[in-house]
C-alpha cells in the first residue's frame, strides 16, 4: 500500500532542518503560534502530567518539547529524517525524554490502537494527499474519551492573500512554496471529515494575526489559521 505522503513536501521540510530552532529564522511563525497552540491544549485538557501524547508530523519538535515540559509522555512521528535528527539532538540538550520515530500515522495506528490520551496534528493536513486517512488513523490511536487537536488553514481569498502573497512573497516570513492554496481546508470540510471518522467536534478556535503588533492571538475568527478539537466517545 502506498504511503499517504507527497515526497516533495517531505523534501521541503527536510531543507528546514537547520532552522527549526531559530526563533527568527524560517520557522519563526511556528515559534510565534506555539504558545497559542499550547494555551488551547491546556484549556481543553487540563493537566498533561503522565498523559500519553502523540505528536503527528512533529518536524523539529517545537510542539513536542512544549508537551513534554508539561509532564506528558510524548511520542512524536515524522518522515523527514533531517528534522527528526534535529529534534532528537535538541531534546537531549534540554534533558527531555521524547520518543521520536520515523513513521506515518497510518503505520503507527496499526501498531498502537487505542493507546493515546491526546493526539496533536498541527499544520500537517494541508501537506498530505489524503487528510481523512490521517484523521481516521488518529481516531484509531485514541483511547475512549481521548482528545485530538488538528490545526490547518482555511481556504478562502483572505488566506490566499495573507499567507501566500503576504507571508511568502512580501514579508518573506516563510519560504516561497510553503503553502498550496488548493490544499487548504475549510472548517466545515474539516468538521465533516472528523465526524466521518466517528469523532465528536468539541471546539474550534482561530489564531488571528495582529498585523501592527506582529503577533497572533486566539480568536473566534477562523478566517485563516484555526485549531479544531475533537473527542472519541467512550463507547467507540
Which one has a higher pLDDT value, 134 or 173?
134
pLDDT band at 182 (very low <50, low <70, confident <90, very high): confident
CA 86 to chain centre: 18
Least confident of 28-37, 114-123, 137-146, 153-162: 153-162
pLDDT at 178: 66
Pairing of strands 73-78, 98-102: parallel
Q: Can you tell me which residue has the cell 499550547?
A: 38
Residue 90 has pLDDT above 60, yes or no: yes
CA 174 – CA 176 distance, rounded (Å): 7
Angle ∠(14,17,23) on CA atoms, nearest 5: 135
The answer to whether residue 167 scores a pLDDT higher than 60 is: no
Percentage of residues of the chain with pLDDT beyond 70: 83
The pLDDT value recorded for residue 2 is 64
* Banded model confidence at residue 26, pLDDT cuts 50, 70, 90: confident
Q: Tell me the pLDDT tens digit for each residue of 28-80.
A: 888 999 999 999 999 999 999 999 999 999 999 999 999 999 999 999 999 99
Q: Characterise 113 by phi-psi region: left (phi > 0), alpha (psi -120 to 50), beta (else).
A: beta
C-alpha span between 99 and 88 (Å, rounded): 9
pLDDT band at 175 (very low <50, low <70, confident <90, very high): low
The CATH superfamily of 7-232 is Vaccinia Virus protein VP39 (3.40.50.150)
pTM: 0.89
Beta bridge partners of 226: 152, 206
Q: What is the DSSP string of 124-184?
A: -GGGSS-HHHHHHHHHHHEEEEEEEEEEEE--SHHHIIIIIIIIIIIS-SS-TTS--GGG-
Q: What share of the chain is helix, strand, coil (3-state, %, to 5)?
A: 40, 25, 35
Query: Domain extents for the chain?
Result: 7-232
Return left, alpha or beta for 50; rule: phi > 0 is left, psi -120 to 50 is alpha, else beta: left
For the chain, give the percent of residues with pLDDT over 90. 67
The pLDDT confidence band at residue 15, using thresholds 50, 70 and 90, is low
Q: Which is more confident, 12 or 231?
A: 231
Amino acid at each position: 500500500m502506498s504511503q499517504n505522503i507527497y515526497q516533495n513536501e517531505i523534501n521541503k521540510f527536510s531543507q528546514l532542518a537547520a532552522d527549526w530552532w531559530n526563533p527568527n529564522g524560517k520557522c519563526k511563525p511556528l515559534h510565534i503560534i506555539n504558545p497559542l497552540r499550547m494555551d488551547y491544549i491546556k484549556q481543553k485538557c487540563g493537566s498533561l502530567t503522565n498523559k500519553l501524547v502523540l505528536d503527528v508530523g512533529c518536524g523539529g519538535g517545537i510542539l513536542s518539547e512544549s508537551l513534554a515540559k508539561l509532564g506528558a509522555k510524548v511520542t512524536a512521528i515524522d518522515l523527514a529524517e533531517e528534522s527528526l535528527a534535529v529534534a532528537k539532538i535538541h531534546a537531549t540538550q534540554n534533558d527531555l525524554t521524547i520518543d521520536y520515530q520515523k513513521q506515518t500515522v497510518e503505520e503507527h495506528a496499526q501498531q498502537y490502537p487505542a493507546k493515546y490520551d491526546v493526539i496533536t496534528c498541527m499544520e500537517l493536513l494541508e501537506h498530505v494527499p489524503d487528510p481523512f486517512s490521517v484523521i481516521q488513523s488518529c481516531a484509531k490511536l485514541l483511547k475512549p474519551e481521548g482528545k485530538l487537536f488538528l490545526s490547518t488553514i482555511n481556504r478562502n481569498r483572505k488566506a490566499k492573500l495573507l499567507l501566500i502573497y503576504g507571508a511568502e512573497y512580501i514579508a518573506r516570513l516563510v519560504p516561497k512554496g510553503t503553502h498550496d492554496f488548493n490544499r487548504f481546508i475549510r472548517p466545515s470540510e474539516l468538521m465533516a471529515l472528523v465526524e466521518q471518522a466517528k469523532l465528536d467536534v468539541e471546539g474550534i478556535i482561530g489564531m488571528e494575526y495582529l498585523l501592527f503588533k506582529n503577533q497572533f492571538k486566539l480568536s473566534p475568527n477562523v478566517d485563516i489559521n484555526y485549531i479544531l478539537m475533537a473527542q472519541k466517545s467512550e463507547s467507540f
